[in-house]
Amino acid sequence: MMASNSGLQLGVTLFSFTNEFHSRQYTLEQLIAKVAELNLGPGIEIVGFSSVRGFPVVTDEFAANFKELLAKHNLKPACLGLNADMYKNPNKPMTPDESLAYHEAQLDATAKLGFPVGRYQFLAGTDVIHRLLPKAERLNVKLGLEIHAPEHVNSPIVMQYRELYAKENSPYLGFIPDFGSTARRVSPAFISYFRQLGLPEALITLAEEMWLSKDDPNNPTAKIPEFQARAKAAGFRPVDIAECFIVFGLFSRQQPAAWREIMSQIVHIHGKFYHFNEDGSESAIPYEEILPVFVEGGYNGYMVSEWEGHFLCDDGGFAKVQKHQELCRRILAGCGAQNAVTS
Catalytically active residues are: 148
The CB density around residue 48, as the number of other CB atoms within 10 Å, is 21
Amino acid making up residue 122: F
CA 26 to chain centre: 22
- Helix (H) or strand (E) holding 58, with range, is none
Q: How far apart are CA 324 and CA 273, in angstroms?
A: 8
Q: Cβ(289)–Cβ(202) under 8 Å?
A: no
CA distances from 137 to 85, 118, 133, 168 (A): 23, 12, 6, 12
| Helical segments of the chain, H only | 18-22, 28-37, 48-51, 60-72, 96-113, 126-139, 156-168, 188-196, 201-212, 224-233, 238-244, 247-250, 287-296, 318-335
The CB density around residue 87, as the number of other CB atoms within 10 Å, is 11
CB-based burial, 197-235: b 16+ in 10 Å, e otherwise: eebbeebbebbbebbeeeeeebbbeebbeebbebbeeee
Q: How far apart are CA 84 and CA 14, in angstroms?
A: 19
Q: How far apart are CA 68 and CA 75, in angstroms?
A: 10
Q: Cβ(227)–Cβ(221) under 8 Å?
A: no
- Helix (H) or strand (E) holding 279, with range, is none
Omega prior to 77 cis, within 30 of 0:
no
The count of residues in the chain is 343
Q: How far apart are CA 192 and CA 204, in angstroms?
A: 10
